[in-house]
């Protein structure tokens, strides 16, 4: 199994990839560049759409178009390049906080975590869109990531990247209630003084995806790998990635056996970019176990 770069183009901070089964296209965002991209993977052609602020995450909608978490709220676009209609305003201070990792859940509700940019205290959280309001689900985080659901929709996962921890909860799909919080997986923290090229650090959990067997795939930022965990949180594999900073995986293709991963080159050192010249590219690799299909937002 080897990675292939989807296109030669490097993106600053690729995130929130998903495979659109109806369009047969891969979508993702570039957060600091304020763009949404989509690629015809068979032709290698990429379309780009500029946003008015940072798109933290996106999800497809059942009736067409996208749901987009921008800095100041959750927006609906009925078609590619179309008007952005605000569904709900952000509850956070947009001067210090923006939306980050987000997805639609198995019932069609949109969830989005936030990121507290000064990173000096745990002021970020996780919200769920309920009509035209955002319901606070979790807090006490700094950089929300790793949102995912198990194949039976009975478990929800969420990570706070700086704590190197992914947590899990029992999840009730009908009510969206989260109970029985526990640590799913925790990795050692970043050693003091660690810099690129040093040993002793395996990265921290960024975005995630789940396969049909319930295994959780965590992109390990600064770890140059994707960590595959069993439903019990046991590490099954460490999949090397040709970039030091993978950001989020997803599954795609007709059989959902293509693993995609976005990566970052934003604010990375010259030494790192020399060692990993394809940093910022989107990569793909064939795998044996299919992933779960993307969840669509229900209007």
The 3-state DSSP composition of the chain as helix, strand, coil percent (nearest 5) reads 5, 50, 45
Give the pLDDT of residue 132: 87
Give the pLDDT of residue 131: 86
- What's 272's DSSP letter? H
pLDDT tens digits, one per residue of 43-59: 989 999 999 999 999 99
What values do phi and psi take at 161, rounded to 5? -55, -45
**Mean confidence (pLDDT) of the chain:** 97
Domains for the chain: give ranges and CATH numbers: 19-187+202-286 (2.120.10.30)
**CA nearest neighbour of 268 among 220, 222, 201, 202:** 222
DSSP H or E segment with residue 273: helix 270-275
**CA nearest neighbour of 255 among 283, 291, 226:** 291
Q: What is the mean pLDDT of residues 219-237?
A: 98
pTM of the model: 0.97
What values do phi and psi take at 244, rounded to 5? -70, -25
- In 31-164, DSSP assigns E strands to 35-40, 45-50, 57-60, 66-70, 73-77, 84-89, 97-104, 110-116, 124-130, 133-141, 144-149, 155-160
51's tokens: 């946003």
Which of the residues are catalytic?
Answer: 206
pLDDT tens digits, one per residue of 187-207: 999 999 999 999 999 999 999
pLDDT tens digits, one per residue of 79-138: 999 999 999 999 999 999 999 999 999 999 999 999 999 999 999 999 999 888 899 999
pLDDT tens digits, one per residue of 260-299: 999 999 999 999 999 999 999 999 999 999 999 999 999 8
SS3 state of residue 90: coil
pLDDT at 65 over 80: yes
16: phi > 0 → left, psi -120 to 50 → alpha, else beta; which? left
């Amino acid at each position: 199994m080897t990675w292939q770069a989807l296109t030669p183009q490097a993106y600053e901070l690729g995130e929130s990839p998903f495979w659109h089964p109806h369009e047969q296209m891969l979508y993702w965002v570039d957060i600091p560049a304020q763009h949404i991209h989509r690629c015809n993977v068979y032709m290698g052609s990429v379309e780009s759409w500029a946003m008015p602020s940072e798109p933290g995450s996106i999800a497809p909608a059942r009736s067409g178009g996208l749901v987009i978490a921008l800095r100041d709220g959750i927006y609906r676009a009925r078609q590619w390049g179309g008007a952005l209609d605000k569904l709900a305003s952000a509850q956070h201070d947009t001067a210090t906080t923006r939306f980050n990792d987000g997805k639609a859940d198995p019932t069609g509700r949109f969830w989005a975590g936030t990121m507290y940019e000064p990173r000096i205290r745990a002021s970020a959280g996780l919200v769920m869109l309920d009509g035209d309001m955002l319901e606070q689900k979790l807090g006490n985080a700094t950089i929300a990531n790793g949102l995912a659901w198990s194949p039976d929709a009975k478990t929800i996962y969420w990570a706070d990247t700086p704590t190197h921890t992914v947590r899990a909860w029992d999840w009730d799909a009908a009510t969206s209630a989260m109970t029985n919080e526990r640590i799913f997986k925790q990795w050692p923290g970043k050693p003091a003084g660690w810099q690129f090229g040093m040993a002793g650090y395996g990265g921290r959990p960024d975005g995630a995806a789940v396969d049909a067997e319930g295994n959780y795939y965590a992109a390990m930022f600064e770890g140059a790998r994707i960590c595959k965990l069993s439903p019990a949180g046991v590490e099954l594999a460490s999949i090397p990635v040709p970039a030091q900073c993978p950001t989020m995986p997803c599954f795609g293709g007709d059989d959902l056996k293509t693993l995609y991963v976005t990566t970052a080159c934003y604010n990375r050192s010259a030494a790192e970019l020399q060692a990993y010249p394809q940093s910022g590219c989107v990569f793909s690799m064939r795998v044996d176990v299919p992933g779960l299909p993307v969840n669509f937002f229900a209007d």
